[in-house]
């Protein structure tokens, strides 16, 4: 059964279906599309193509969070992200910036970004939550325990759904204390971040507990499974993981399921298929006409 639609994030359109966020990684080393869009003109072109395919938001990031990734310095991150945010926002598209740094969030919002997507949930940069409070933009607060180089060492949970929910709740309180208006905040369980493959599946199966009015956090939930390793492991062939580029059909299946379970937004690389899937899910859960 679908959960009641969650309260929506202030500043984004309220839709009768799950939103689709398309991914533009302006990085040399992202696991899914690293190096393809380092050139700003190519990245903008790709973002426009995602918008034309039905993305409600285009998420621009300049730091890879693949396991083991080394962080770029802030100057490099700004140089990667800003021309792309500028180019897409100038075209009138809703752009989010995927960053853990307050400096980048501020500059990106100045360049036209309408949402800050922070995989660290405000934990990587001590200035981030105050910056988001001052910017007054919607904010995605993800469950996060450690930077990519060491996140695989932080996968201890008693009950992964309950523990992630509790840690998100605690971080929402920190955000509120920093002045962030929680009506502008969506949460994200952080699929693949300090989670084993089994824990990712457990979180997805328990999504209703995160979304649900009694057990959940009372905030919209973003789900980002796209091309992630746990899908490659599920689809292993001849002892080889299915490569990231061939995980889009499986990603679309997760979109349909997440949307049916009440997710507010999915973050995906292949937008067209997910844009269809969220419409199917919305119609499916609405029931007889
Ligand atoms: N995952 C990645 C990057 N950004 N943002 C949110 N909110 N949630 C995620 O799970 C997430 C994210 C890593 O995937 P990518 O390298 O394909 O962008």
- Name every residue whose Cβ is closer than 8 Å to that of residue 92 and which is 6 or more positions away in sequence: none
The answer, yes or no, to whether residue 4 has pLDDT greater than 60, is: no
* Contact (Cβ atoms closer than 8 angstroms) between residue 64 and residue 27: yes
Ligand 1 nearest-atom number relative to CA 142:
7
Query: Token digits for 275?
Result: 């844009």
Q: In the chain, pLDDT over 70 holds for what percent of residues?
A: 98
Name which residue leads in pLDDT, 60 or 31. Answer: 60
Domain borders along the chain are 19-286
129-133: Cβ within 8 A, 24+ apart: 129/174, 129/175, 129/178, 129/179, 129/180, 130/102, 130/178, 130/179, 131/102, 131/105, 131/106, 132/102, 132/105, 132/175, 132/178, 132/180, 133/178, 133/179, 133/180, 133/181
The answer, yes or no, to whether residue 284 has pLDDT greater than 70, is: yes
Spell out the SS3 assignment of 178-207. Answer: CCCCHHHEEEECCCCCCCCHHHHHHHHHCH
Ligand 1 nearest-atom number relative to CA 225:
10
Q: What is the pLDDT of residues 119-137, one digit of tens each?
A: 999 999 999 999 999 999 9
Ligand 1 nearest-atom number relative to CA 23:
18
- CATH 3.40.30.10 for domain 19-286, yes or no, is no
Q: Give the pTM.
A: 0.95
Between the alpha carbon of residue 206 and those of residues 4, 139, 155, 225, the distances in Å are 16, 23, 17, 14
7-11, 229-233, 263-267: segment of lowest average pLDDT: 7-11
Q: What is the pLDDT of residues 221-252, one digit of tens each?
A: 999 999 999 999 999 999 999 999 999 999 99
Q: Which residues pair with 115 in a beta bridge?
A: 96
Catalytic residues: 228, 267
Between the alpha carbon of residue 171 and those of residues 9, 134, 175, 181, 265, the distances in Å are 17, 18, 6, 13, 20
Residues whose beta carbon lies within 6 Å of some atom of ligand 1: 23, 25, 30-32, 64-66, 98, 117, 119, 140, 142, 188, 190-191, 222, 224, 226-227, 267
CA-nearest residue, atom 2 of ligand 1: 65
């Amino acid at each position: 059964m679908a959960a009641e639609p969650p309260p929506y994030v202030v500043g984004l359109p309220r839709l009768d279906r799950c939103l689709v966020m398309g991914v533009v990684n302006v990085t040399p080393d992202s696991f899914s599309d690293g190096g393809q869009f380092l050139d700003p003109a190519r990245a903008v072109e790709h973002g426009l193509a995602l918008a034309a395919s039905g993305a409600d938001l285009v998420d621009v990031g300049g730091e890879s969070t693949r396991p083991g990734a080394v962080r770029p310095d802030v100057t490099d991150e700004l140089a990667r992200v800003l021309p792309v945010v500028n180019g897409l926002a100038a075209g009138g598209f809703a752009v989010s910036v995927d960053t853990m740094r307050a400096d980048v969030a501020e500059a990106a919002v100045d360049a036209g970004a309408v949402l800050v997507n922070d995989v660290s949930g405000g934990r990587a940069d001590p200035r981030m939550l105050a910056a988001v409070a001052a910017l007054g933009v919607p904010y995605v607060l993800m469950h996060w325990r450690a930077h990519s180089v060491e996140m695989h060492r932080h996968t201890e949970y008693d009950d992964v759904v309950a523990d992630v929910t509790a840690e998100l709740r605690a971080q929402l309180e920190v955000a509120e204390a920093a002045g962030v208006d929680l009506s502008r905040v969506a949460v994200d369980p952080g699929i693949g971040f300090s989670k084993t493959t089994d824990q990712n599946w457990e979180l997805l199966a328990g999504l209703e507990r995160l979304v649900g009015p009694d057990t959940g956090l009372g905030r919209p939930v973003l789900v980002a499974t796209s091309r992630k390793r746990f899908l490659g492991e599920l689809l292993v062939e001849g002892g080889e993981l299915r490569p990231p580029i061939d995980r889009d059909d499986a990603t679309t299946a997760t979109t349909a399921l997440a949307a049916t379970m009440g997710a507010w937004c999915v973050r995906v690389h292949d937008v067209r298929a997910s844009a269809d899937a969220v419409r199917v899910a919305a119609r499916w859960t609405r029931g007889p006409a």
